[in-house]
Amino acid sequence: MKSNALADIHGRSFITPRPWSEAEFDELLLKDSTFLISGENSFLLGMLTDYEAEILTLAVDPMKRRLGIAKKMLDEFEDRCLEKKINKIILEVAKDNNPALKLYESCNFEITGKRRDYYSSPEGIKIDAIIMTKSI
């Protein structure tokens, strides 16, 4: 999937935090540590280190939500981590993103911290990020 398609899906999926640009996706995709799991109108972008993985963003077109697509991509991400002997996954999610919080909790992610005022809404309202972790 090319960066313009990623930016399009991300733009339809997010208001807060702001959607990422095509240039931002281009920059991320150039890094060796970044990898992409993509499907029709959906993707998960992650980054691997020697000992842990981070989910940078997961986006599913709003018209395709609640069909198990995000869970399937999370499962594939976890499988890839295990193949690389990585046993910890971390992510950040906006405190007010209840559907995402429920998804991650249903996939056994645990809340391990908070970043105060990490995100900004389009109106300039600050929103905390919830840090979630899963040991695999």
List the catalytic residue out of 92, 105, 110, 123: 92
List the catalytic residue out of 22, 51, 52, 104: 104
Sheet containing 53-60: which strands, arranged edge to edge?
34-39, 42-48, 53-60, 88-94, 126-135, 110-120
Question: 92 catalytic, yes or no?
Answer: yes
Q: The domain spanning residue 58 has which CATH number?
A: 3.40.630.30
Q: Is 106 exposed, middle or buried (0-12, 13-18, 19+ CB in 10 A)?
A: exposed
pLDDT of residue 111: 98
Q: How many domains does the chain have?
A: 1
Q: Can you read off the two tokens belonging to residue 122?
A: 């389009």
Q: Would you say 34 and 28 are in contact if contact means Cβ atoms under 8 Å apart?
A: yes
pLDDT tens string 11-40: 999 876 678 899 999 999 999 999 899 988
Return the closest-CA partner of residue 80 out of 108, 46, 56, 110: 46
Average confidence score pLDDT of the chain: 93
Domain boundaries, position 126: 3-135
Query: Looking at 27-125, which runs of residues are DSSP E strands?
Result: 34-39, 42-48, 53-60, 88-94, 110-120
**CA-CA distances (angstroms) from residue 15 to 2, 9, 19, 58, 60?**
21, 12, 6, 14, 13
pLDDT tens string 73-110: 999 999 999 999 999 999 999 999 999 999 999 999 99
Does pLDDT of 57 surpass 90? Answer: yes
